């Protein structure tokens, strides 16, 4: 009986090794099949030109307008993959569309009443306008077109990837020619006045402590996983330096920035994959624990009591700031 058991065990181990080898070979093939970024020349856009200019749009929650009109449009998620081959192939770049009708590519809840439309003008010869459909097919294996199609099938109003574009650089405020808000009664976009935009900028500048601009606990997963640090605009790190003073989770992001800057190769990919899974399956405590343990393994200055005190101080300040704001609004 022991002889049969040992024989069965050996066969199972051989089968497991063959499956593991096949998986590694498949992943290796996928990795080698993906070209290096920008090694394939991007095609010119086919947008309609008017006097040598082209027009694109960006949809965003109205609470982001003050930041965008201060720092420019510099953030956007470009998904290349979330497995051990592609975890390092996720980027940050402004996401744009030629669709002037309302749609919701980010699947934001209740977005029709809270989103604004930014109208941006470019020189028609601008080579930094990258067709998203081409980029997805060339560098991402077509996974974005599949995700958008699935979102549309579920009623998500994700738009058409062939009408969408990525921008290889920052978009300063002076390129944003109109900011419009959706009018439910008329079914049209109403343009905000200069005074209304100035009020949104002032509100942004006078904001208190928050979690990426919101008064409740929310993580910047793109930053924590290092995706936004893989940046086409060259301005995201500078933006974080300017805004972390009013960011509740800045102490946590200091750890994740360090991890993303210092881990390399497979260790970095594994960290990104594991942490991204936490977004859907783990508690806040487990997320903090994983990040702190990872940081302590590679840092000469492990997390201490000062770090926890700073985080707690920021959380209390956030509650106090929004309590004052609520009192003023009610009063």
Q: Which of 206, 234, 249 is the last residue of a domain?
A: 206
- Domain limits for position 100: 29-206
Closest CA to 155 of 99, 103, 100, 117: 103
Rounded Cα gap, residues 229 and 90, in angstroms: 9
Rounded Cα gap, residues 306 and 202, in angstroms: 33
Strands 91-92 and 77-78: antiparallel
Q: Are residues 257 and 213 in the same domain?
A: yes
Q: Are residues 188 and 224 in the same domain?
A: no
Residue-level pLDDT at 150: 86
Backbone angles phi, psi at 115, to 5 degrees: -85, 150
Residue 18 maps to a domain: no
Residue-level pLDDT at 40: 95
Q: Are residues 255 and 192 in the same domain?
A: no
One digit per residue, the tens of pLDDT, for the chain of length 331 reads: 555 656 666 666 666 666 655 555 554 444 556 899 999 999 999 999 999 999 999 999 888 999 999 999 999 999 887 765 566 789 999 999 999 887 666 666 555 457 899 999 999 999 999 999 999 999 998 989 998 888 888 877 788 899 999 999 999 999 999 999 988 788 889 999 999 999 999 999 998 999 998 878 889 999 999 999 999 999 999 999 999 999 999 999 999 999 999 999 889 999 999 998 888 887 889 999 999 999 999 999 999 999 999 999 999 999 998 888 776 666 6
Q: Are residues 40 and 170 in the same domain?
A: yes
CB atoms under 10 Å from CB of 255, counted, come to 19
Rounded Cα gap, residues 190 and 57, in angstroms: 15
Rounded Cα gap, residues 151 and 106, in angstroms: 10
Q: Are residues 64 and 177 in the same domain?
A: yes
Q: Copy the structure tokens of residue 239.
A: 């933006």
List, in order, residues 6 or more apart from 171 with CB less than 8 Å away. 72, 73, 74, 94, 120
Residue 23 maps to a domain: no
Q: How many domains does the chain have?
A: 2
Residue-level pLDDT at 185: 84
Give residue 213's region: left, alpha or beta (phi > 0; psi -120 to 50): left
- Cβ-count burial of 294 within 10 angstroms (0-12 exposed, 13-18 middle, 19+ buried)? buried
List, in order, residues 6 or more apart from 165 with CB less than 8 Å away. 45, 56, 95, 96, 97, 98, 129, 130, 131, 132
Residue 17 maps to a domain: no
Residue-level pLDDT at 213: 85
Q: Are residues 216 and 272 in the same domain?
A: yes
Q: Are residues 241 and 154 in the same domain?
A: no
Q: Are residues 279 and 136 in the same domain?
A: no
Q: Are residues 54 and 191 in the same domain?
A: yes
Residue 263 maps to a domain: yes
Q: Which of 156, 171, 206 is the last residue of a domain?
A: 206
Residue-level pLDDT at 174: 97
Residue 22 maps to a domain: no
Note the pTM of the prediction, 2 decimals: 0.85
Q: Copy the structure tokens of residue 114.
A: 């809270």
Q: Are residues 195 and 233 in the same domain?
A: no
Residue 298 maps to a domain: yes
CA 34, distance to chain mean position in Å, is 22
Residue 96 maps to a domain: yes
Residue 191 maps to a domain: yes
Closest CA to 100 of 170, 182, 193, 200: 182
Q: Which of 154, 180, 206 is the last residue of a domain?
A: 206
- Cβ-count burial of 16 within 10 angstroms (0-12 exposed, 13-18 middle, 19+ buried)? exposed
Rounded Cα gap, residues 224 and 276, in angstroms: 9
Q: Are residues 253 and 331 in the same domain?
A: yes
Q: Are residues 248 and 295 in the same domain?
A: yes
Q: Copy the structure tokens of residue 99.
A: 């669709």
């Amino acid at each position: 009986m022991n002889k049969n058991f040992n024989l069965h065990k050996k066969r199972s181990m051989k089968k497991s090794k063959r499956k593991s080898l096949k998986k590694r070979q498949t992943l290796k093939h996928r990795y080698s099949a993906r070209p290096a970024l920008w090694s394939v020349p991007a095609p010119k856009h086919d947008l309609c030109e008017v006097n040598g200019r082209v027009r694109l749009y960006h949809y965003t929650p109205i609470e982001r307008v003050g930041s965008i009109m201060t720092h420019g449009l510099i953030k956007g998620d470009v998904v290349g993959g979330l497995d051990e081959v592609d975890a390092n192939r996720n980027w940050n770049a402004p996401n744009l569309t030629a669709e002037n009708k309302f749609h919701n590519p980010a699947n934001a809840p209740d977005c029709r009443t809270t989103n604004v439309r930014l109208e941006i003008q470019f020189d028609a010869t601008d080579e930094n306008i990258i067709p998203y459909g081409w980029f997805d097919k060339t560098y991402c294996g077509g996974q974005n077109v599949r995700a958008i199609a699935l979102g549309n099938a579920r009623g998500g109003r994700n738009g058409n990837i062939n009408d969408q574009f990525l921008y290889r650089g920052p978009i300063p405020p002076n390129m944003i020619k109109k900011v419009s808000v959706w009018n439910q009664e008329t079914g049209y976009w109403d343009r905000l006045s200069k005074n209304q935009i100035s009020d949104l900028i002032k509100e942004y500048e006078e904001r208190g402590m928050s979690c990426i601009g919101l008064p409740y606990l929310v993580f910047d997963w793109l930053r924590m996983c290092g995706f936004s640090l893989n940046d086409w605009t060259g301005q995201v790190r500078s933006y974080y330096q300017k805004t972390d003073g009013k960011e509740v989770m800045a102490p946590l992001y200091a750890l994740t920035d360090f991890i993303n800057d210092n881990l390399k190769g497979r260790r970095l990919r594994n960290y990104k994959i594991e942490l991204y899974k936490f977004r859907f399956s783990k508690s806040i405590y487990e997320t903090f624990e994983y990040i702190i343990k990872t940081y302590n393994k590679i840092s000469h200055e492990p997390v201490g009591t000062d770090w926890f005190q700073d985080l707690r101080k920021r959380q209390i300040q956030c509650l106090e700031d929004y309590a004052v704001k609520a009192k003023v609004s009610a009063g």
